[in-house]
Amino acid sequence: MTETVLRTGAEKRRLKIDMRALSPFIALVVLAIAGALINPDFLTASNILNVVTRSAFIAIIAVGATFVIAAGGLDLSVGSMAALTAGVMILTLNSLGGADVGTLAIGMLAAIGLSAACGLANGLIVTFGRIEPFIVTLGTMGIFRSLVVWLAAGGTITMRNFELRELYRPVYFGSIFGIPVPIIAFLVVAAIGALILYRTSFGRHVVALGSNEDVARYSGVPIWRVRTLAYIIQGICVGIAVLVYVPRLGSATPTTGLLWELQAITAVVIGGTALKGGVGRVWGTVVGAVILELVANIMVLSNFVSEFLVGAVQGAIIIIAMLVQRSVHRGR
Amino acid sequence: MDSVLRAENISKSFGPIEVLSGISLDLRPGEIHAVIGENGAGKSTLMRILSGHLAPTKGNLYLNEQPITFAGPTDAESHGIVLVHQEILLAEDLTVAQNLFLGREIKRFGFVDDRTMRERTRGILAELGTRIDPDHEVRRLSIADRQLVQIARALLVPHKVVAFDEPTAVLTPIEAESLFAIIRRLREHGVAVLYISHRLNEVKAIADRVTVLRDGRHIATRDIEGLEPLGMARLMVGRDMSKLYPDKPATASDQVILSVRDMAVPGYVENASFTLKHGEILGFGGLIGAGRTELFEGLVGLRPSLGQITLRGETVHFRDAREAMAAGIVYLSEDRKGKGLLLQQNLRINLSLAALDKFTRGSLIDVGAEEKALDGAIKDFDIRTRSRDLLAGQLSGGNQQKLLLAKMMLLQPRIIIIDEPTRGVDIGTKEQIYRFIAGLAENGLSVIVISSEMQELIGLCHRVIVMRNGRVAGEVAQADLSEDSIVYLATGVHEERAAEIAAGHA
């Protein structure tokens, strides 16, 4: 008798978990249909590619955020970190002065190195200071932002070498087999992220840590290392996003990356990753990031809501996504 | 005598599982009625039905011979039926008085009237024979005092029936004695007391009548006169108790595998020394809070500790559980749900978590190998689950314990430390776990069993070390194993003497 109960329970649950994993994809389809109905220009290939390209920065950052959040952490500093990394990268390129691939490579390495170091700092403070990640990254968010303002002396940091800008341009504007480079970049990052999270012991440890830190500790999971690494991965993802971002405008300003943390966390939550940790969905996160950009795009194409209210709509989306998560969770 | 509260043919099902079937029970004013039974016998469910926390699926309740249904615990309380919970449910940061009146604050001009509440708290606590300061934060109270506060809170409403759910589980005999005095005082005031316990000596000392449950069924209701603890145990288990434990394997050797000297876990344990031999099942007894769990958490690196640990002749010190596991020592926590298993994850992820290195090829996890290991574990440990996709939290307590055992055995340890191996486990699974532990020793492994169930230590172990107040109080050899000898070391008081104190003859 007991076994029958267990069985039906499991089947119900499986159906629900499927729903939970599928819901971002369903939302994406619904939004696409809505967009097509509102404006026929919406479903053109150029518009769709444009939307997905624009979502690349957030998607790449959000893949990193999936790790941090699945491990039971949070990183609010990603937007400021991106601004600082972009600023330092441009300053590095300017001071090197060259216009060759080598110069660019050094600048890129500097960017990835700096963002990984920022992630390491977040991770070490959270892990060894035993401080709430919310507080730690709120603090570093202020520090990183302030550093970029200081470096820019309140103004703009611009790539001075025009030839280098031309050399670098294709990384955002170019395409391979008709697919824009940023889309390829974010698909590659997501694929690697999914591989690490789902198929390696480190990924399993991330989920275990977010599920229940005590159980992880009692099971011999090296929780210090896992947690710090999750923040480093977040940092590296920010660095990669910056590599794609810098050629777009060729400059960094004190407002670069503003509210990116909100968008990244929203993308993760829409994607079905549990904010309390223990569940990580990389592909859901990617879809979440596209949904955010899609909503902004539909707002621009339609005349219902002013596009100046994009932030408000995105803010509302994260709250709604949390409510949906809560009700799905209760239904279990 | 008329009953104040009567249950007639009460049944309770959760889905198609019937956990109580056809229970009848009557409570008379001025009696202490004990309900006894093994874990999972349905005691707590029955109590929750009687106190309005659950509605029965079938059957009726009668209050003063009038049929009644309770809308919820508050409704039951308004009819004078209160339940003193087993777990301490108090807000730790509030004071005693604030806790007592939480949710029913006395107000004056719309503001809380602290002075009146403090005075009334003082009065109620004095009635209970304790002098806890109403202004103390609950955080600063001992467990026993917290329980008194909880009782005081329950008794704040006018009451005709008071139900206690395993109230002495966390108390020393001396503390239990003052609790019994309170319960007897309630009886003198004509209150009907429902007393749930599986400590039979205690029941003998305090109850007037005893109802025995087994597997959700009513077995017997007897007057306490002429019913001895052994008779109660027989009714509870429904078979010969001695069969529960396998024969002790004759594998305990003289070869020491682990020796611990002057181990200290700051705040919990001081000066603990002991040795463990090859093929031995070594028991650790003592009261809850004696420092047994902390000693072993310290040993395997889950807590900071000092002292000298010698493993196979080499001095070792573990900084975390991973190092202990690498050295062949595993620790299975008593807190299965909080520290043993990831309740929200499936069986496969739980099983391989500690030994994940064994399932990686290159740097990727081999899910096929994991699935194969799960098949093996389900078979070897008799984990009863029809669907392999269940979450660990959906397994019963017994199956969770088997899964935890399977998980730790994947590490192929030489020393297995099991904390409360059968807590929350049904009797059939208990037997399996005991046989499994004996099997480990037969294969030359060494097992440490930490348990609060004295029968378990006596039935299972070659040797029992007893702790008291963070120190090793003594050791009982196989030939001398008895409840009396363990209780004596655990409390410093002989059991007859403890029973006397409990019975109020002191």
Q: Which among B17, B339, B340 is the nearest to A2, CB-wise?
A: B17
DSSP secondary structure letter of residue B336: I
* CA-closest candidate to residue A75, choices A224, A208, A230: A230
Task: Encode pLDDT of A145-202 as tens digits.
Answer: 999 999 999 889 999 988 999 999 999 998 898 899 999 999 999 999 999 999 999 9
Indicate yes or no: CB of A278 within 8 angstroms of CB of B344: yes
Give the fold, CATH level 3, of B244-328+413-503: Rossmann fold (3.40.50)
φ/ψ of residue B260, rounded to 5: -120, 130
C-alpha to C-alpha distance for A75 and A69, rounded to whole angstroms: 8
What does the block give as tokens for A114?
Answer: 């700096």
Q: Which H or E run contains B467?
A: strand B463-468
Which residues are registered as beta bridge partners of B361?
B364
> Tokens 């170091």 map to which residue?
A117
> Is some CB atom of chain B closer than 8 A to the CB atom of A200?
yes
Strands (E), B44-184: 58-63, 66-68, 81-84, 107-108, 111-112, 161-165
What does the block give as tokens for A117?
Answer: 């170091």
* CA-closest candidate to residue B345, choices A4, A103, A189, A204: A204
From the CB of residue A22, how many other CB atoms can be counted at a distance below 10 Å?
12
Which residues are registered as beta bridge partners of B277?
B256
> Is some CB atom of chain B closer than 8 A to the CB atom of A276?
no
Q: Which residues of B touch A221 (CB under 8 A)?
A: 322, 353
State how far Cα A54 lies from the chain centre: 13
Interface test with A, best of B325, B336, B344, B359 (most A CBs within 10 A): B344
- Give the strand pairing for A251-252 and A157-158: antiparallel
What does the block give as tokens for A144?
Answer: 């990183």
Q: Helices A101-129 and A133-151: crossing angle, nearest 10°? A: 150
* CA-closest candidate to residue A209, choices A276, A261, A137, A264: A276
What does the block give as tokens for B161?
Answer: 């029936």
Q: Which residues of B touch A220 (CB under 8 A)?
A: 320-322, 324-325, 354
Residue in A with minimal Cα distance to B405: A219
What does the block give as tokens for B336?
Answer: 């299965």
Indicate yes or no: CB of B394 within 8 angstroms of CB of A10: yes
Q: How many Å from the N-terminal Cα to the C-terminal Cα in chain B?
A: 32
* CA-closest candidate to residue B144, choices B126, B124, B169, B125: B169
Indicate yes or no: CB of B322 within 8 angstroms of CB of A220: yes
Q: Which residues of A touch B352 (CB under 8 A)?
A: 204
ipTM for the predicted complex? 0.83
Helix then strand count (H, E) for chain B reads: 17, 24
Q: Are B2 and B133 in contact (CB under 8 A)?
A: no
Q: Which among A199, A221, A279 is the nearest to B364, CB-wise?
A: A199
- Sequence-distant (≥ 6) Cβ neighbours of residue A72 within 8 angstroms: A209, A210, A211, A213, A276, A277, A278
φ/ψ of residue B210, rounded to 5: -130, 130
* Alpha helices (H) in B238-346, listed in sequence order: 292-299, 321-326
Point out the residues of chain A with pLDDT beneath 70: 1-20, 328-332
Domain B5-239, CATH number (from 3.40.190.80, 3.40.50.300, 2.60.120.200, 3.30.70.100): 3.40.50.300
Interface test with A, best of B296, B319, B349, B353 (most A CBs within 10 A): B353
* CA-closest candidate to residue B34, choices B173, B148, B199, B145: B199
Interface test with A, best of B294, B334, B345, B347 (most A CBs within 10 A): B345
The Cα of A7 is separated from the nearest Cα of chain B by a number of Å equal to 6
> Tokens 């397994």 map to which residue?
B395
Residue in B with minimal Cα distance to A13: B390
- Sequence-distant (≥ 6) Cβ neighbours of residue A75 within 8 angstroms: A64, A65, A68, A119, A122, A133, A137, A231, A234, A261
What does the block give as tokens for B458?
Answer: 């006596």
Interface test with B, best of A219, A225, A229, A276 (most B CBs within 10 A): A219
Indicate yes or no: CB of B338 within 8 angstroms of CB of A215: yes
The Cα of A230 is separated from the nearest Cα of chain B by a number of Å equal to 17
C-alpha to C-alpha distance for A192 and A203, rounded to whole angstroms: 11
> Tokens 């947690």 map to which residue?
A227
Would you list which residues of chain B are within 8 Å, Cβ to Cβ, of chain A? 15-17, 302, 320-322, 324-325, 331, 333, 335, 338-345, 349, 352-354, 356-357, 359-360, 363-365, 384-387, 389-391, 394, 396, 407
What does the block give as tokens for B261?
Answer: 């000297």
C-alpha to C-alpha distance for A152 and A308, rounded to whole angstroms: 26
What does the block give as tokens for B22?
Answer: 């056809």
Q: Which among B320, B335, B342 is the nearest to A211, CB-wise?
A: B342
* CA-closest candidate to residue B309, choices B281, B343, B274: B274
Q: Does domain A43-331 have CATH number 1.20.950?
A: no
- Sequence-distant (≥ 6) Cβ neighbours of residue B204 within 8 angstroms: B224, B227, B228, B229, B232, B499
Q: Which H or E run contains B415?
A: strand B415-419
From the CB of residue B424, how many other CB atoms can be counted at a distance below 10 Å?
16
Instruction: Return averaged pLDDT per consecutive 10 residues of chain B, 506 residues in all.
Output: 86 80 91 85 86 90 90 88 82 89 85 89 84 88 84 86 84 78 90 86 90 88 87 76 77 87 92 93 88 94 94 93 95 91 93 93 90 93 83 85 95 95 79 92 94 87 92 91 84 62 50
> Is some CB atom of chain B closer than 8 A to the CB atom of A113?
no
> Is some CB atom of chain B closer than 8 A to the CB atom of A227?
no
- Stated length of chain B: 506
- Stated length of chain A: 332
> CA angle B392-B393-B395, nearest 5°?
70
Q: Are A314 and A266 in contact (CB under 8 A)?
A: yes
Q: Which residues of A touch B363 (CB under 8 A)?
A: 200-201
Q: Helices A101-129 and A223-249: crossing angle, nearest 10°? A: 140
Q: Using DSSP, state whether B6 is helix, strand or coil.
A: strand
From the CB of residue B88, how many other CB atoms can be counted at a distance below 10 Å?
14
Residue in A with minimal Cα distance to B301: A218
**Torsion (CA) B128, B134, B137, B139 in degrees, nearest 10:** 0
Q: Which among A6, A200, A278 is the nearest to B385, CB-wise?
A: A6
Which residues are registered as beta bridge partners of B35?
B196, B211
DSSP secondary structure letter of residue B391: B
Indicate yes or no: CB of B345 within 8 angstroms of CB of A208: yes
C-alpha to C-alpha distance for B131 and B118, rounded to whole angstroms: 13
Q: How many Å from the N-terminal Cα to the C-terminal Cα in chain A?
A: 21
**What pLDDT, on a 0 to 100 scale, did the predictor assign at position B486?**
86
Indicate yes or no: CB of A204 within 8 angstroms of CB of B320: no
Q: Are A53 and A182 in contact (CB under 8 A)?
A: yes
* Alpha helices (H) in B249-312, listed in sequence order: 292-299
> Tokens 């689950």 map to which residue?
B385
Q: Are A126 and A227 in contact (CB under 8 A)?
A: yes
Indicate yes or no: CB of B322 within 8 angstroms of CB of A222: yes
What does the block give as tokens for A205?
Answer: 């440890």
Q: Are B375 and B325 in contact (CB under 8 A)?
A: no
* Contact pairs from chain A to chain B, CB under 8 Å: 102
Instruction: Tell the burial category of A301 from Cβ atoms under 10 Å away from its Cβ (0-12, 13-18, 19+).
Output: middle
Indicate yes or no: CB of B302 within 8 angstroms of CB of A217: yes
C-alpha to C-alpha distance for B248 and B461, rounded to whole angstroms: 7
**What pLDDT, on a 0 to 100 scale, did the predictor assign at position A87?**
95
Indicate yes or no: CB of B320 within 8 angstroms of CB of A217: yes
Residues of chain B with CATH 3.40.50.300: 5-239, 244-328+413-503
